[in-house]
Amino acid sequence: MRKVRQNTIWLAALLFAFVHGSANAADDKAALVGLKEVKVAYDIKEGDPKLLLNRLDIIDETRQSLIQQGVTPHFILAFRGPATKLLQTDTELIKPEYREQAIKVAAKVNQMSSASGVEGFEQCAVAVREQGTKVEKVLPQVRVVGNGFISLMAYQAKGYAYIAP
């Protein structure tokens, strides 16, 4: 009898936690109180296309979540370092095993380029030089800037939050 009662109590507690937890869905209300818009400059360096695609998906999910919560996003996605090779129209410099995923990265950039809240994509020209790629081979949705550090500094000076995922 005691064992049955313990199981019943445990089951009731579990059911209460489930019902109570689902009634309180996760949100960002506390952090977003008083905000109508947010400005963010993302510093993206990921050279593995699968991981880069994942980061782009999460940034896009963040953008959509902000909009759903009534906050207008203003996102700049700045690429440098190893990510540079994955933003090229010429796949010769991309490792053969990465090429299929790199095509998916390009498709995601293209999709996001027209999305509400995405102000633009930037590619650092210094990184282009250092990675051995060419400015004229950068995806057409991506603006090449002289120096990604200077660009990121300028965005921060203009009130953009800096995030390096």
Per-residue pLDDT at 31: 93
Beta-carbon-side half-sphere exposure of residue 20 (alpha carbons within 13 Å): 6
Cβ(36)–Cβ(1) below 8 Å: no
Quick check: is 108 in a domain? yes
In a domain, 43, yes or no: yes
How many domains does the chain fold into?
1
Q: Do the domain assignments include residue 148?
A: yes
Tell me the CATH number at 101. Answer: 3.40.1260.10
pLDDT along the chain (165 residues), means of 10: 51 46 71 96 97 98 96 98 94 90 96 97 98 96 98 98 95
**Which residues partner with 145 through β-bridges?**
124
Q: Which residue range is the domain that position 124 belongs to?
A: 28-163
pLDDT value of position 15? 42
Taking phi over 0 as left and psi of -120 to 50 as alpha, with beta for the rest, 148 belongs to alpha
Q: So what's the pLDDT on residue 70?
A: 96
Provide the pLDDT for residue 47. Answer: 95
Residue 16 lies in a domain: no
Query: SS3 for 78?
Result: strand
pTM of the model: 0.82
| Alpha helices, DSSP H, located in 24-147 | 29-32, 49-68, 99-113, 125-131
Nearest CA to 14 among 6, 2, 24? 6
On whether residue 14 sits in a domain, the answer given is no
